Structure 1
Amino acid sequence: MNTDLYRVFYITAIEKNFSNAARRLFITQPSVSHSIKQLENELGIQLFTRTSKGVLVTKEGEVLFDYLKQAFDLIDNAEQKIKEMKNLQSGSVTIGGSDSTCKHYLLPYIQTFQDKYPDIQIKLQHGSTPQILDKLANKLIDIGIVHLPVSQSNLSVTDFLSINSIFVVGKRFQHLSRERLTLSEIKAYPIISFSETSSSRKFLNQLFLSQKLDVKPDIEVGSVELLIECAKIGMGVAFVTKELISKELAEEKLFEVKINEVIEKRKIGLATKKDTSLSLAAGMFLNHLLA
Structure 2
Amino acid sequence: MIYIIENLDLYRVFYITATEKSFSLAAKKMFLTQPSVSHSIKQLEEKLDTLLFVRTSKGVRLTKEGEMLFHFVEQAFHFIEKGEKKVNELKNLMSGEISIGSSDSLCKHYLLPHIKTFTDKYPQVQIQLKHGTTPNIIELLKKGKIDLGIVHLPIEDNQVDVTEFINIHSCFVVSSKYKKLLKNEVSLKELLTYPLITFSKNSSSRKFIEALFKKHDLTIEPEIELGSVDLLIECSKIGLGVGFVTKEFVTEELEQNLLYEVNLQEDIPVRKLGIVTLKNTPISVGSKKFIKSMKKKGLIKKHHEMYIQ
- TM-score normalised per structure 1: 0.83
SS of equivalent to 1:167? strand
SS of equivalent to 2:197? strand
Change (3 A) 1:49 1:249: closer
Q: 1:138-157 maps to which residues of 2 (within 5 A)?
A: 138-157=143-162
> Which of residues 56, 66, 70 in structure 2 aligns to 1:65?
70
Q: Give the aligned partner of residue 230 of structure 1.
A: 235
Q: Give the aligned partner of residue 85 of structure 2.
A: 80
> Which of residues 51, 54, 68 in structure 2 aligns to 1:50?
54
Distance in 1 of aligned mates of 2:153 and 2:231 = 24
Q: Give the aligned partner of residue 43 of structure 2.
A: 38
| Equivalent pair of 1:85/1:280 in contact (CA under 8 Å) | yes
Distance in 2 of aligned mates of 1:78 and 1:168 = 56
> Which of residues 160, 167, 171 in structure 2 aligns to 1:162?
167
Given the alignment of the two structures, is residue 29 of structure 1 paired with residue 34 of structure 2, yes or no? yes
> Cα offset for 1:147?
0.8
1:181-217 CA-partner distances (Å, limit 9, x unpaired)? 4333333333222122211011112122223333333
Q: Give the root-mean-square deviation of aligned CA atoms.
A: 2.9
SS of equivalent to 1:259? coil
| Equivalent pair of 1:10/1:69 in contact (CA under 8 Å) | yes
Q: Give the aligned partner of residue 121 of structure 1.
A: 125
| Equivalent pair of 2:173/2:244 in contact (CA under 8 Å) | yes
Q: Give the aligned partner of residue 200 of structure 1.
A: 205
Change (3 A) 1:167 1:28: same
Q: Give the aligned partner of residue 244 of structure 1.
A: 249
Change (3 A) 1:211 1:143: same
- TM-score normalised per structure 2: 0.79
1:23-46 CA-partner distances (Å, limit 9, x unpaired)? 33222333334333433454x452
| Equivalent pair of 1:231/1:254 in contact (CA under 8 Å) | yes
Q: Which shows bigger deviation, 237-246 or 253-262?
A: 253-262
> Which of residues 216, 235, 241 in structure 2 aligns to 1:211?
216
Change (3 A) 1:143 1:95: same
SS of equivalent to 1:172? helix
Q: Give the aligned partner of residue 269 of structure 2.
A: 264
> Cα offset for 1:122?
5.8
Identity %: 48
Distance in 1 of aligned mates of 2:111 and 2:143 = 22
| Equivalent pair of 1:148/1:267 in contact (CA under 8 Å) | yes
SS of equivalent to 2:165? strand
> Cα offset for 1:225?
0.7
Residue ranges of structure 1 left out of the alignment (5+ in a row): none
Change (3 A) 1:71 1:202: farther
SS of equivalent to 1:258? coil
Counterpart amino acid of 1:174?
A: K
| Equivalent pair of 1:159/1:268 in contact (CA under 8 Å) | yes
